[in-house]
Amino acid sequence: MRRIWLIFAQSVTVAVAVVFVLGTFKPGWLQQAPRMTWPQATPTAPASGVPVQVADDPLPTQPLSVAARKAAPAVVSVTASKTSKINPANPHAEDPWFRYFFGQRGEQDTEDPQPQIGLGSGVIVSSEGYLLTNNHVIDGADEIQVQLSDGRTAKARLVGTDPESDIAVLKVDLDRLPVVTLGRIDQVVVGDAVLAIGNPFNVGQTVTSGIVSALGRSGLGLSTFENFIQTDAAINPGNSGGALIDVNGNLIGINTAIYSRSGGSMGIGFAIPIDLAQQVMNGLVRDGQVTRGWIGVQPRDLDPEFAQNFKIPVSEGVLITGVLQDGPASKAGMKPGDVVVRIAGQPIRNTAQLLNVVAALKPQTDAVVGVLRGQQAMDLKVHIAQRPRQQVQ
C-alpha cells in the first residue's frame, strides 16, 4: 500500500512540474482550441426594444454591375435626321418674322435650313442586325444612324413601324454584333430590381437602377395598345427605345415614356413589355406589318355607377358604346349597351384587356364573345377581321 501511494505522489509531482514548465515557456499550448459551430442568428434589440433576428453572415448577392456589363454592349444610340417640308404656296415662308408669328404653329408649313435631329436609343436583339426602338424616335426621319458602345457607327435601314404600339424595327449591316438576351415577362413581378440603359440627353450610354413599380399600366393615352411596365429607374429624354433589363441582364422592356412636369425624370417611367415588342417585330420582319384581330366596336370601361343604375349583375367588364355598321360585331348581333365579359374564354375586365385580347386573335377565324344585355347573358359568335392599319399621332 505504501508503495502504491509513493508512485501516485511521484506521478502528481511530475505532472505539476510539466504543467509549470509548459505554462512558463509554451503558454499557447495550454489555450483551448476553437470549436467549430454553425452560424447562428444573433438576437438584437433595436431602439424600439422589439427583438429581431439578424444573420451574422448574410448570403452574398450578384451585383447589378454584372447584368449591366452583359446587356450594355447591345444598347445603341440612335440619331434620326429629317428635313421639314416647305409650303410653296406661301411666299412668306422664308421670312423669319412671319415664321416666328405664324410658321411655328406647324412644322409642315416651314423649312429650317438645318435638318432636325432626333436622339434616342435602340437595342440589338438579333445577330442578323435587327434593332428595336420606339416609333416616335424615328418617325418621319430621312436618315437614321446608330452608334454602338464600341464606337462603331452605321446607317440603319427602317424595316417597319407600328405606331399603335410605338415600336419600330431597324436593321444594320455590321459584323460581330453584341446581342441582348430576351427575358420572360411572365417571370417579372412588382419589386424586382431592374436597370434602364440608354443615351439620355446625348451625354453617352448611361445605366440607372430601380425596381418594377407596377405591371399592366394602361389608359395613359400613349398608344393604342398599352400594357406598360412602370419603373422608378431614371428615364430621361434620349432613353426612348433603350433597354429595361432584369438582374440577369435579360431584356424585359423597351423604355418609351416618362411622367414629368419638368421634362426630366420624376421616378415614373414606362416600358413596353418585351413579349409585345417581340410580337410586333416578328410581324414587321415577316409580313411588313402587324396583323391583329378586329371586331369593330367602340368600348369603354364599365362604370360601377352605370352598372348599378341599369342593374347589371357584374362589376367588371367593358361597355360597348358603339358598333360599326356591317362590322364583325354588328353582323354577330352585338348592340350598343352590351357589356362584354368574356372573349374566347378569357375574362374581360377593362378596355385595354379587350383590345389586347381581340388583337391577339387570328383574322378570318371565329371567336365566342360573352356579353350581358341587361340581365340576359348571351354568347355571340364573331368572325374576326383584320384590324385596319392606323396612323397614331
The secondary structure of residue 104, as a DSSP letter, is G
Question: Confidence band (pLDDT; 50, 70, 90) for 27?
Answer: low
The whole-angstrom separation of Cα 272 and Cα 239 is 13
Least confident of 138-142, 250-254, 333-337, 388-392: 388-392
Catalytic residue among 166, 232, 246, 338: 166
Question: Looking at the DSSP assignment, which residues form a beta bridge with residue 78?
Answer: 120, 146
Instruction: Using the predicted structure, report yes or no on whether residue 300 has a pLDDT greater than 90.
Output: no
Q: Is the dihedral of CA 61, 63, 64, 70 positive or negative?
A: negative
Catalytic, 383? Answer no
41-95 residue pLDDT tens:
344 444 444 443 333 444 455 688 899 999 999 999 999 988 765 555 555 444 4
Residue 388 pLDDT: 83
Question: Confidence band (pLDDT; 50, 70, 90) for 19?
Answer: low
Catalytic, 166? Answer yes
CB-side exposure of 328: number of CA atoms within 13 Å? 23
> How confident is the model over 297-317, as a mean pLDDT?
79
The whole-angstrom separation of Cα 178 and Cα 181 is 10
Q: How far apart are the first and last CA of the chain?
A: 115
Q: Are 78 and 137 in contact (CB under 8 A)?
A: yes
* % of the chain exceeding 70 in pLDDT: 75
Q: Are 158 and 144 in contact (CB under 8 A)?
A: yes
Catalytic, 338? Answer no
Structural domains in the chain, CATH included, are 65-171 (2.40.10.10), 181-287 (2.40.10.10), 293-386 (2.30.42.10)
Cβ-based neighbour number of residue 28 at 10 Å: 6
167-185 residue pLDDT tens:
999 999 998 999 999 988 8
CB-count exposure of residue 297 (10 Å: 0-12, 13-18, 19+): buried
Question: Confidence band (pLDDT; 50, 70, 90) for 329?
Answer: very high
Question: Confidence band (pLDDT; 50, 70, 90) for 28?
Answer: low
C-alpha cell read off for 63: 451585383
> How confident is the model over 98-127, as a mean pLDDT?
62
The whole-angstrom separation of Cα 33 and Cα 300 is 76
Q: Pairing relation of β-strands 181-182 and 250-258?
A: parallel
Residue 311 pLDDT: 73
Catalytic residue among 77, 121, 218, 240: 240
DSSP labels, 135-168 = HHHHTT-SEEEEE-TTS-EEEPEEEEEETTTTEE
